[in-house]
C-alpha cells in the first residue's frame, strides 16, 4: 500500500530494485556530461546572460536526473536549487520562491484531502458502488473502473493512490472471481481489465487539474508563458467534451483489441454488493468527508462567482478535516508523497520561472520557429503536438516530460501564431495522455504491469493504438469544442 502511494515525481526506477553504486556513478557521469555540453559545447546566444546559461545547464542536469533516478527526484531538485544559490545564478530568495507559490500549497492540501478519502474507506466505497451498478458485463466492469478513477481524480492528485492503491486491488479481485490469473488464464478477464484500468487512468489525469501531481505545475507555466489563466474549473471546461468522448471510446477500443474470454460478469456485481455489505452503512467520518468533497469541488467549479482561489478552497477543506479530527496532524506528517511533491514542485517551479525570466525559453522558441517560417499555425500545432506526444517513449515520468518540454514547445507554438489557449491546453492534455504509451510512462504503469496480466508486447501495441484514438479525439473533437468555448 505504501508503495502504491508513491507519487508521480520520477523517483521510481523502471526496474524493480534500487540503483546500485555503479549505476549511480554512471548516471552521475551522464548528468555531468549533459551539463558540460550545455556550458561548454553549445554556443550561448548573445540574448541570454551567463547566469541564464548556467541555470539552463543546472536545469538540464536536473531533468536528466529525474529520468535516470540515481537518487530520489526531490533530492535531485533540492541539490539543483542549492547549486543555483552556490554558483550565484539565483539569490536564495529567488531559488526558494517556488515554495511560496499558492499552487504548491494547493497540491499539498489536495494530498491531505485525498488521505481522508482513503483513510475513511470512502474512495473504495465509491469504486465498489460503480461496480455494483454497471459491472454486469466485462465492458461494464471496465467502465465502472474508469468512472471510479475519474470521480476520484476530481480531488486526489496522486494517480498512484487512485489506480494502484484503490482500484488495482478491486480490479484484481474481480478478475480472480472468474479464475483469471497471471499466466494462461489472464486473457479470460484480467488482461482486459488491467489495460482498461491504466488507459482510463491517463484520461482521468488529463481531465482535471488535480488529475496528477504535475498538472498544477503545467498550469502555472501556461499562465506564466502564455498568459492563459488555468484553474480547476477552466481546466475541466476545456477537457470536458474530448475527455468524455475518450472515456466512452477507449474501453470499447481495448475490448476489441484484447477481447476477454468472459463477457458476462454477474458475479462481479455480487462481489461488490457483498463488499459494500461488509463495510456497512457510511460512517459519520465518511459522511463528513463526502460533504467536504462536494463542498470543495462545488467551490472550485463556481470559482468565477466568488473571490475564493482554488488554493484557499482546498485549505478550507483541510482545515475542516483537521478540526473534525478525521485528518490528524500525524496523518499529515505521514503523508510522505505530499511533502515529497512539495519539495520537487516548488524547486522546479522556481527554476522554470527563472529560465523564462532570463529569456532562455523565448530564445529557444525564436530559434526553432525560424524553421517553420510560412507554415500555418494549424500544421505547426499538429507537428509539434505529435513530437511532444511521442517523445514520451523516452520518459519514465510525466513530470520530467512536462517540465523539460512544455515551456519550450509552448513558446514555439505561441511565436508561430497558435492561439494561446489552444497551445497551452493541448500540450497540457498531451502531457498526460502520452503516459499511456509504455509500461513505464508514469508511476502506476509499472505497478499495474508488474501484476503480470499483460505482456509487454501487448501493452505497447494497445498503448500505441489507443494513442491514435486519443490524439484524434483531442485534436478533432477538442479543436471544435475549444472553438465553441472561445479558446480560438
> Does residue 8 have a pLDDT over 80?
no
To the nearest whole percent, how much of the chain has pLDDT over 70?
A: 96
The three cell numbers locating residue 399? 513530470
User: Residue 341 above 70 pLDDT?
Assistant: yes
Look over the chain and give the mean of its residue pLDDT values, rounded to a whole number. 89
Span 255-259, mean pLDDT? 96
What cell does 400 get?
520530467
Angle at 394 between CA 61 and CA 202, to 5 degrees: 110
Give the DSSP per-residue string, 103-154: HHHHHHHHHHHHHHHHHHTHHHHHHHHHHHHHTTBHHHHHHHHHHHHHHHHT
Higher pLDDT, 13 or 294: 294
Four-CA torsion 119, 122, 127, 132, nearest 10 degrees: 130
CA distance 181 to 188: 8
How many distinct structural domains can be found in the chain? 1
Q: Looking at residue 157, what DSSP letter applies?
A: -
- Lowest mean per-residue pLDDT among 6-10, 55-59, 228-232, 445-449: 6-10
Q: Which residue has the higher pLDDT, 22 or 151?
A: 151
Residue 194 CA to residue 462 CA, distance in Å, equals: 12
Q: Which range, of 140-149, 151-160, 180-189, 343-352, averages the lowest pLDDT?
A: 343-352
CA separation for the pair 205, 421 (Å, rounded): 19
- Our CA angle for 363, 366, 368, nearest 5°, is 110
Of the candidates 428, 470, 373, which has an alpha carbon nearest to the alpha carbon of residue 226? 428
User: What ranges in 223-335 are assigned the alpha helix state H?
Assistant: 232-257, 266-279, 284-301, 310-324, 329-334
Answer whether residue 430 shows pLDDT above 80. Answer: yes
Nine-digit cell string for 451: 501484476
Top-confidence residue, 320 or 305 = 320
Beta-carbon contacts of 410 under 8 Å, excluding residues fewer than 6 positions away, are 221, 222, 225, 226, 423, 424, 427
Q: What is the pTM of this model?
A: 0.86
pLDDT score, position 104:
86
- Residues 139-173: pLDDT tens digits? 999 999 999 999 999 998 888 889 888 999 999 99
99: Cβ contacts below 8 Å, ≥ 6 apart = 342, 346, 350
**What's the pLDDT at 64?**
87
Task: Report the range of poorest mean pLDDT among 159-168, 180-189, 275-284.
Answer: 159-168
Q: Cell 493504438 identifies what position? A: 465
Q: Write down the pLDDT at residue 18.
A: 56
Residue whose grid cell is 478519502:
117
CA distances from 119 to 66, 151, 188, 240, 285 (A): 30, 17, 33, 29, 10
**Residue 165: partners with Cβ closer than 8 Å, 6 or more residues away:** 1, 4, 5, 118, 158
3-state SS, residue 431: helix
pLDDT tens-digit profile of 66-118? 878 888 888 999 999 999 999 999 999 999 998 988 888 988 898 899 889 98
Q: How many CB atoms lie within 10 A of CB 306?
A: 10
CB 432 within 8 A of CB 212: yes
Q: To the nearest whole percent, how much of the chain has pLDDT over 90?
A: 64
Measured CA to CA, the distance from residue 64 to residue 126 in angstroms comes to 39
CA distance 138 to 196: 10
Question: How far, in Å, CA of 252 to CA of 43, rounded?
Answer: 51
> Does 232 have pLDDT greater than 90?
yes
Alpha-carbon 9 to chain mean position: 9
Q: What band does 478 get if pLDDT is binned at 50, 70 and 90?
A: very high
User: What dihedral angle (degrees, nearest 10) is formed by the CA atoms of 345, 9, 382, 60?
Assistant: 70
Q: pLDDT (tens digit, 9 = 90+) per residue, 366-394?
A: 888 888 878 899 999 999 999 999 999 88
Give the Cα separation of 397 and 438 in Å (integer): 11
For residue 451, the enclosing domain spans 3-484
The grid cell for 9 is 515525481
Amino acid at each position: 500500500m505504501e508503495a502504491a502511494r508513491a507519487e508521480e515525481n520520477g523517483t521510481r526506477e523502471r526496474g524493480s530494485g534500487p540503483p546500485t553504486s555503479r549505476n549511480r556513478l554512471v548516471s552521475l557521469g551522464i548528468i555531468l556530461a549533459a551539463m558540460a555540453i550545455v556550458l561548454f559545447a553549445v554556443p550561448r546566444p548573445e540574448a541570454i546572460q551567463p547566469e541564464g546559461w548556467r541555470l539552463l545547464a543546472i536545469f538540464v542536469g536536473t531533468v536528466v536526473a529525474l529520468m535516470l533516478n540515481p537518487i530520489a527526484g526531490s533530492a535531485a531538485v533540492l541539490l539543483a536549487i542549492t547549486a543555483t544559490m552556490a554558483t550565484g545564478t539565483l539569490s536564495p530568495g529567488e531559488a526558494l520562491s517556488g515554495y511560496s507559490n499558492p499552487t504548491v500549497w494547493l497540491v499539498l492540501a489536495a494530498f491531505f484531502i485525498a488521505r481522508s478519502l482513503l483513510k475513511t474507506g470512502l474512495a473504495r466505497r465509491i469504486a465498489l458502488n460503480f461496480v455494483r451498478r454497471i459491472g454486469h458485463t466485462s465492458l461494464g466492469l471496465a467502465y465502472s473502473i474508469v468512472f471510479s478513477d475519474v470521480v476520484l481524480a476530481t480531488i486526489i492528485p496522486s494517480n498512484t493512490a487512485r489506480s494502484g492503491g484503490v482500484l488495482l486491488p478491486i480490479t484484481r479481485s474481480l478478475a480472480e472471481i472468474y479464475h483469471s490469473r497471471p499466466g494462461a488464464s489472464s486473457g479470460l478477464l484480467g488482461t482486459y481489465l488491467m489495460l482498461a484500468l491504466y488507459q482510463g487512468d491517463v484520461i482521468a489525469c488529463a481531465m482535471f487539474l488535480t488529475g496528477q501531481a504535475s498538472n498544477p505545475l503545467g498550469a502555472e507555466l501556461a499562465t506564466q508563458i502564455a498568459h492563459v489563466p488555468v484553474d480547476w474549473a477552466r481546466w475541466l471546461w476545456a477537457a470536458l467534451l474530448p475527455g468524455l468522448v475518450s472515456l466512452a471510446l477507449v474501453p470499447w477500443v481495448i475490448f476489441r483489441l484484447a477481447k476477454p474470454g468472459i463477457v458476462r460478469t454477474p458475479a462481479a456485481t455480487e462481489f461488490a454488493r457483498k463488499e459494500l455489505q461488509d463495510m456497512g452503512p457510511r460512517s459519520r467520518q465518511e459522511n463528513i468527508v463526502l460533504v467536504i468533497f462536494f463542498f470543495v469541488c462545488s467551490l472550485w467549479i463556481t470559482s468565477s462567482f466568488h473571490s475564493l482561489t482554488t488554493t484557499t478552497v482546498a485549505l478550507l477543506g483541510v482545515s475542516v478535516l483537521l478540526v473534525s479530527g478525521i485528518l490528524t496532524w500525524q496523518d499529515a506528517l505521514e503523508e510522505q508523497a505530499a511533502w515529497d511533491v512539495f519539495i520537487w514542485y516548488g524547486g522546479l517551479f522556481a527554476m522554470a520561472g527563472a529560465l523564462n525570466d532570463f529569456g532562455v525559453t523565448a530564445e529557444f522558441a525564436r530559434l526553432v520557429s525560424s524553421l517553420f517560417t510560412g507554415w500555418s499555425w494549424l500544421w505547426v500545432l499538429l507537428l509539434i503536438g505529435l513530437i511532444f506526444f511521442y517523445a514520451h517513449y523516452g520518459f519514465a515520468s510525466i513530470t520530467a516530460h512536462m517540465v523539460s518540454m512544455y515551456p519550450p514547445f509552448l513558446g514555439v507554438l505561441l511565436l508561430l501564431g497558435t492561439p494561446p489557449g489552444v497551445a497551452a491546453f493541448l500540450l497540457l492534455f498531451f502531457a498526460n495522455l502520452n503516459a499511456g504509451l509504455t509500461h513505464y510512462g508514469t508511476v502506476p504503469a509499472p505497478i499495474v504491469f508488474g501484476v503480470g496480466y499483460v505482456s509487454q508486447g501487448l501493452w505497447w501495441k494497445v498503448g500505441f493504438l489507443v494513442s491514435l484514438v486519443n490524439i484524434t479525439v483531442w485534436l478533432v473533437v477538442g479543436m471544435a469544442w475549444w472553438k465553441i468555448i472561445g479558446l480560438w
